[in-house]
């Protein structure tokens, strides 16, 4: 086995896969013998230096929900989120690093230390969330050699292990996020065409619908609240998830509800559940439509639909996709594992490209025919103030320079002009987002470009953005008259508040916490 790994850091479950000696990815079970690990954390009551991660954390949650964390992926990149435990304020990156630490630790038991990893993220994650995920990896003592989009990882796994060819749609509905990606596959050549997603749509939203049905059913019957404290809520959240999974196998599920006004039997049919989640499923339908439009094709042009993510086990998902595309989606492999497996393949490809002499002949032989061509997942632009021809007023707008879905590597330029006589400074902003209104895009870098003095307005400034296959962006602002340049070089989220030194210091601080 190599020490190259891929990690699927999921909202509800996480998994780790490593590359074997011939470049095939294999899931490594955790210390409990399970192939996937709940992304759940519990801070031990008795010994505050011990942190439980995985199934034990799920089981302990009812004892003290205040010391438990689930679904932290929904908060990753949120700079305001803090969880205070025993006097320490935990950030989403630090909490996610505990899950990664458990995966690294367990995978290392039989395979030696895991060092170089690729971590998967939803395709629609912005720079801040991607950087936060990488930081979590570094804090866990991992060397994060790359980030891969979850549907791309799933496609990499399918395309290299199954008979997949032509236009392929990956429908990835996990615990907390939804992604849909279109790609073209020819042999082991994979070309990503476009991606869409919703970072707040997944299994936990379906669980919430069931929980609402429990609460409403109890209220209707007993005229009283079912849930009166956080411990009970935690218990019924788990019951709701269990009921949802049962409804993937059976037409109805029965549960006992125990509230303060007495107990009751409660039944939910699959039809009732599907009606309740219809607005959520419709959101995935809309994104499938958008992706078809972005890819410039019709449903009948799609040759294969691949499923990833545990929520695709719901029959309604499969039924809807079959209706839309006229054939059943591909369900050959475990939907919970394909993202981690694909991320491990991506780790091998990254290492092969960046440090080919550090990879064994077996692995490079196994991966030599695999080619992945990705696209920009977002649009990148800059803020400018062109004059409105009709009103003569300057209007501040976001101008896109690198459009979303441009194949990588890519480079694009546009020309802008200084606005006033004697202008010696230009505030340059790099934006991420589709909108022309600057208020609706992320400002991912802002710098001041010093210009020569004593010149009239209207001096040309050439702005060039390039994006390489390692997700590194380079921006050049060039004053064409003087030849003066301002370069903004940037790896994913380099403008984020945490520098590499900060992250490494956090990693040191976290060493004292024992993860079990
Ligand atoms: P993932 O993040 O891909 O591991 O997906 C986890 C989500 O899949 C969780 O919300 C699970 O409740 C959900 N899930 C797993 N198995 C099933 C099932 N049989 N039916 C419905 N949802 C499921």
pLDDT digits (tens, 9 = 90+) for 377-410: 889 999 999 888 888 888 999 999 999 989 988 9
| Ligand 1 interacting residues, C-beta cut-off 6 A | 10-13, 174-175, 203-204, 241, 244-245, 248, 309-311, 313-314, 336
Q: In Å, how far are 19, 26, 348 from 99, measured between CA atoms?
A: 21, 19, 22
Mutation pick for ligand 1 pocket among 10, 11, 12, 209 (CB with most ligand atoms within 8 Å) = 12
Q: Name which residue sits closest to atom 18 of ligand 1, judged by CA.
A: 245
Instruction: Check: CB of residue 385 under 8 Å from CB of residue 394.
Output: yes
Helix axes 278-295, 315-325, angle to 10 degrees: 40
Q: What homologous superfamily does CATH list for 203-276?
A: ATPase, substrate binding domain, subdomain 4 (3.90.640.10)
**CA 484, 485, 487: angle at the middle one, nearest 5?**
165
| Centroid of ligand 1 to alpha carbon of 468 (angstroms) | 34
The average confidence (pLDDT) of the chain is 91
Specify the pLDDT at position 494.
46
What confidence tens digit (pLDDT) does each residue in 465-494 have? 998 776 667 899 999 999 999 988 665 444
Going by their DSSP bridges, the two strands 380-384 and 425-432 should be labelled as: antiparallel
| Confidence band of 288 (pLDDT split at 50, 70, 90) | very high
What confidence tens digit (pLDDT) does each residue in 33-70 have? 999 999 999 999 888 888 999 999 999 988 888 899 99
Retrieve residue 108's tokens: 């290392």
| Centroid of ligand 1 to alpha carbon of 419 (angstroms) | 55
Q: Name, in order, each residue with C-beta under 8 angstroms of 395's C-beta and a sequence gap of 6 or more.
A: 385, 386, 387, 388
Q: Name, in order, each residue with C-beta under 8 angstroms of 149's C-beta and a sequence gap of 6 or more.
A: 120, 121, 122, 123, 179, 181, 192, 195, 374, 377
**Domain layout of the chain by residue ranges:** 4-162+332-374+500-515, 203-276, 380-483
Checking if the pLDDT of 366 tops 70, the result is yes
State the residue for tokens 């788990």: 238
| Centroid of ligand 1 to alpha carbon of 331 (angstroms) | 14
Specify the pLDDT at position 68.
93
State the closest ligand 1 atom to the C-alpha of 15, by its place in the atom list counted from 1: 4
Class of domain 4-162+332-374+500-515: alpha beta
State the residue for tokens 């490209």: 353
The closest alpha carbon to 160, from 23, 257, 55, 6, belongs to 23
* Average of per-residue pLDDT across 77-92: 92
Specify the pLDDT at position 470.
63
Instruction: Check: CB of residue 44 under 8 Å from CB of residue 50.
Output: yes
State the closest ligand 1 atom to the C-alpha of 173, by its place in the atom list counted from 1: 3
Cα gap 476→466, rounded to integer Å: 9
Cα gap 68→58, rounded to integer Å: 8
| Centroid of ligand 1 to alpha carbon of 216 (angstroms) | 24
The closest alpha carbon to 458, from 424, 420, 427, belongs to 420
Q: Name, in order, each residue with C-beta under 8 angstroms of 431's C-beta and a sequence gap of 6 or more.
A: 380, 381, 382, 383, 398, 438, 441, 442, 443, 444
Q: Name which residue sits closest to atom 14 of ligand 1, judged by CA.
A: 310
Question: How does DSSP assign 92-160, residue by residue?
Answer: HHHHHHHHHHHHHHHHHHHH----EEEEEE-TT--HHHHHHHHHHHHHTT-EEEEEEEHHHHHHHHHHH
Q: Where are the beta strands (DSSP E) in 436-484?
A: 442-450, 460-467, 473-479
Specify the pLDDT at position 247.
98
What confidence tens digit (pLDDT) does each residue in 304-322 have? 999 999 999 999 999 999 9
Instruction: Check: CB of residue 39 under 8 Å from CB of residue 72.
Output: yes
Specify the pLDDT at position 471.
63
Specify the pLDDT at position 495.
46
User: Which H or E run includes 18?
Assistant: strand 13-19
Mutation pick for ligand 1 pocket among 40, 310, 317 (CB with most ligand atoms within 8 Å) = 310
Retrieve residue 282's tokens: 């419709």
What confidence tens digit (pLDDT) does each residue in 320-339 have? 999 999 999 987 668 889 99
Q: What homologous superfamily does CATH list for 380-483?
A: Substrate Binding Domain Of DNAk; Chain A, domain 1 (2.60.34.10)
Say what the pTM is: 0.87
Retrieve residue 55's tokens: 């199934």
The closest alpha carbon to 104, from 11, 18, 34, belongs to 18
| Centroid of ligand 1 to alpha carbon of 402 (angstroms) | 36
Q: In Å, how far are 65, 180, 350, 430 from 474, measured between CA atoms?
A: 45, 27, 20, 10
| Centroid of ligand 1 to alpha carbon of 68 (angstroms) | 20
């Amino acid at each position: 086995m190599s020490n190259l790994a891929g990690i699927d850091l999921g909202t509800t479950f996480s998994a780790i896969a490593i590359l074997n000696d011939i470049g095939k990815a294999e899931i490594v079970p955790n210390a409990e013998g399970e192939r996937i690990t709940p992304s759940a954390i519990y801070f031990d009551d008795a010994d505050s230096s011990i942190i439980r991660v995985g199934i034990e954390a799920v089981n302990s949650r009812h004892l003290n929900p205040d010391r438990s964390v689930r679904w932290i992926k929904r908060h990753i990149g949120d700079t305001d989120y803090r969880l205070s435990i025993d006097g320490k304020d935990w950030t989403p990156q630090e909490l996610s690093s505990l899950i990664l630490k458990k995966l690294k630790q367990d995978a290392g038991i039989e395979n030696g230390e895991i060092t170089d990893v690729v971590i998967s993220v939803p395709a629609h994650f912005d720079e801040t969330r991607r950087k936060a995920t990488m930081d979590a990896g570094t804090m866990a003592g991992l060397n994060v050699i790359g980030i891969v989009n979850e549907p791309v990882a799933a496609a990499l796994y399918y395309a290299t292990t199954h008979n997949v060819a032509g236009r392929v749609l990956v429908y990835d509905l996990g615990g907390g996020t939804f992604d849909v990606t279109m790609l073209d596959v020819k042999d082991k050549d994979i070309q990503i065409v476009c991606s869409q997603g919703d970072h707040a749509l997944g299994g936990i939203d379906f669980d919430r619908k069931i929980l609402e049905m429990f609460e409403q059913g109890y209220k209707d019957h007993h005229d009283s609240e079912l849930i009166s404290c956080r411990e009970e809520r935690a218990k019924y959240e788990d019951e709701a998830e269990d009921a949802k999974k049962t409804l993937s196998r059976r037409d109805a599920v029965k549960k006992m509800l125990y509230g303060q006004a007495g107990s009751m039997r409660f039944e939910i049919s699959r039809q009732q559940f599907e009606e309740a989640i219809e607005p959520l499923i419709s959101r995935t339908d809309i994104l499938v439509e958008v992706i078809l439009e972005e890819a410039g094709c019709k449903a009948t042009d799609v040759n294969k639909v691949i499923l990833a993510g545990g929520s695709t086990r719901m029959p309604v998902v499969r039924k809807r996709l079959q209706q839309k595309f006229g054939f059943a989606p591909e369900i050959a492999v475990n939907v919970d594992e394909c993202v981690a497996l694909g991320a491990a393949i991506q780790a091998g490809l990254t290492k092969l490209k960046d440090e080919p002499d550090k990879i064994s002949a077996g692995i490079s032989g196994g991966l030599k025919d695999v080619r992945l061509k990705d696209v920009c997942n977002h649009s990148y632009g800059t803020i400018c103030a062109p004059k409105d021809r009709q009103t003569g007023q300057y209007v501040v707008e976001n101008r896109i320079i690198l459009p979303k879905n441009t194949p990588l590597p890519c480079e694009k330029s546009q020309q802008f002009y200084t606005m006033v006589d004697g202008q010696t400074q230009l505030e340059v902003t790099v934006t991420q987002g589709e909108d022309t209104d600057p208020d609706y895009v992320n400002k991912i870098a802002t710098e001041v470009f010093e210009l020569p003095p004593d010149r009239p307005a209207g001096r040309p400034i050439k702005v060039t953005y390039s994006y390489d296959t390692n997700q590194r962006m380079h921006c050049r602002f060039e004053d064409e008259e003087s030849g003066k340049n301002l370069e903004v070089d940037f790896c994913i989220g380099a403008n984020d508040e945490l520098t590499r030194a900060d992250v490494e210091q956090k990693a040191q601080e976290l060493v004292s916490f024992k993860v079990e």
